[in-house]
Amino acid sequence: MELIRNSLGESLAVLQQFIGNEANIMAIKRSGDIMLTALGQGGRIISFGNGGSMSDAMHFAEELTGRFRDDRPAISALSISDPTHITCVANDYGFDAIFSRFLEANGREGDVVLAISTSGNSKNVILACEVAKAKGMKIVALTGKTGGKVSALADVEIRVPHLGYSDRIQELHIKIIHILIEYIEKGLAKGNGVRG
């Protein structure tokens, strides 16, 4: 019982700390606006991350191409999660290249990447952000802890400044992802963008 209450209490404390900083709310809004602008100009959103962050990246993309809350046209989004791509590139070029190689092939100026890393220091996420920046893509980063090296590469960083275990950061990341999806749905419904 104590473990359960402590876990829920810690999660709530991380959420309250995040909500208490207005800059975090504005960063989510700016991220949503960047995504809406890209979609309105025919761009796509490409998401990626490792482990649980890959699951979050996949969840983000499928809610856009599928359905979140409202019936509406499919929204152009994909996650870098194809196991054949990942194992091919990891085998031939190393694990650090799995995301950057995909963006070299498929990223276009006008697209947005959603880079997810609880530490902000995952080498393959950093390299992918460098490729995205070189190609003229916008970068929204979901990070944690101190933001890591990804922080300096992002056009907008949404950071959960929790220095403990990553699961608390991931819990807030999925809340932020759901908010971004809802923001995009509502924005497109109001005519703030068009299907990519």
Give the separation between CA 99 and CA 125, rounded to whole angstroms: 7
Task: Show the low-confidence residues of the chain (pLDDT under 70).
Answer: 192-196
Identify the CATH homologous superfamily for domain 2-189.
Glucose-6-phosphate isomerase like protein; domain 1 (3.40.50.10490)
Domain boundaries in the chain? Answer: 2-189
**What global pTM score does this model have?**
0.94
Distances from the Cα of 148 to the Cα of 56, 118, 153, angstroms: 19, 9, 10
Q: pLDDT for 36-66, tens place per residue?
A: 999 999 999 999 999 999 999 999 999 999 9
φ/ψ region of 46 (left if φ > 0, alpha if ψ in -120 to 50, else beta) reads beta
Output the pLDDT for position 53. 98
